[in-house]
Copies of this chain bind each other. A is one copy, B any other.
Amino acid sequence: MAGFDRYDNILKLFIHQRSSWTAIDIAHELGGAQSTVYRTVRELVAAGFLESTIEAHYRLGPAFLEFEYSMRASDPLVRSGAIFLETLVEQAGVSCSAVLARLYGNRVMCVADAHSSDVTQETSFKRGRPMPILLSATSKAILAGLPGRRREQLFDAVGPENPEERQSLTEELKNIKKRGISITSGELDKGAVGLASLVRNQSLGINASLSLILATKDYDESIKPRLLSLLTSNAKLIENFMEDAHKGMLQP
């Protein structure tokens, strides 16, 4: 195993399977000599990416919290979320969640969220949790904003199997892109409606989506215009904020 994967494959174990591993288990799981695993783990511990606990077990280390803290201060989307999402759910005037999401490999990840205090409808989108890219208004808005070639790559990797589905999804995405809005119902989470707006900044290379997620029972055509207008205006605010933050960064 070569390069960064040597470390990343170990770290991924702690996310995807169990949160606690012994060096011997790692060696069994990944294949390779115990002494090699011990050496590699020791390096990760020294850097704070892992830490040793009891009974020869290791878990993820505090360095990730430091990097996350750094991103909270510097990442354009993460910062935008901290600034705009709270007020967005308030303005929505209905029990809901707001989600700011982006592409993460072949999946979509929420990078910021907010919930009205009385929210009951769960959403699978949680900050930092990778989600499939084909389902939900949130994901489709991101897909719609993608350059055609990248979208085709994604389809090749995780997309619809048969050509008809692929064709119809492509059509759907074109419409979403044209309107700037994506709406789905119960596609990812049963009983939930999602409304999403594209959030893009060409010059910053950002392609994201801003969503409101609420219970189907709380949603009807009467509140649709307000929610859509809120999404559109807040998406614009976020785009502008990122643009300004970027300019301020260049010559402060």
Q: Is the CB of B19 within 8 A of A111?
A: no
Q: Is the CB of A65 within 8 A of B127?
A: yes
Q: Is the CB of B68 within 8 A of A68?
A: yes
Q: Is the CB of B4 within 8 A of A104?
A: no
B8, B54, B75: the one within 8 Å of A203 (CB): B54
Residue A128, interface by CB 8 Å: yes
Give the oligomeric copy count: 2
Residue A66, interface by CB 8 Å: yes
Contacts of A128 in B (CB 8 A): 65-70, 72
Contacts of A49 in B (CB 8 A): 4
Nearest chain B residue, comparing its CB with the CB of A47: B8
User: Which of A8, A60, A62, A249 has the most chain B CB atoms inside 10 A of its CB?
Assistant: A62
Residue A185, interface by CB 8 Å: no
Q: Which residues 61-107 of A have a CB within 8 angstroms of B?
A: 62, 64-75, 78, 102, 104-105
Residue A109, interface by CB 8 Å: yes
A60 and B75 contact, Cβ closer than 8 Å, known pairs A7-B4, A7-B7, A65-B127: yes
Contacts of A20 in B (CB 8 A): 74, 249
A19 and B104 contact, Cβ closer than 8 Å, known pairs A4-B43, A44-B4: no
Contacts of A46 in B (CB 8 A): 4
Contacts of A104 in B (CB 8 A): 48, 62, 66
Residue A248, interface by CB 8 Å: no
Q: Is the CB of B111 within 8 A of A62?
A: yes
Residue A126, interface by CB 8 Å: yes
Residue A27, interface by CB 8 Å: no
Residue A59, interface by CB 8 Å: yes
CB A20 to nearest CB in B, in angstroms, measures: 7
Q: Is the CB of A65 within 8 A of B71?
A: yes
A65 and B111 contact, Cβ closer than 8 Å, known pairs A72-B128, A75-B59, A205-B53: yes
Q: Which residues 112-151 of A have a CB within 8 angstroms of B?
A: 126-130
Q: Is the CB of A66 within 8 A of B3?
A: no
The 5 residue pairs across chains A and B that have the minimum distance between CB atoms: A69-B128, A19-B74, A65-B128, A4-B43, A68-B68
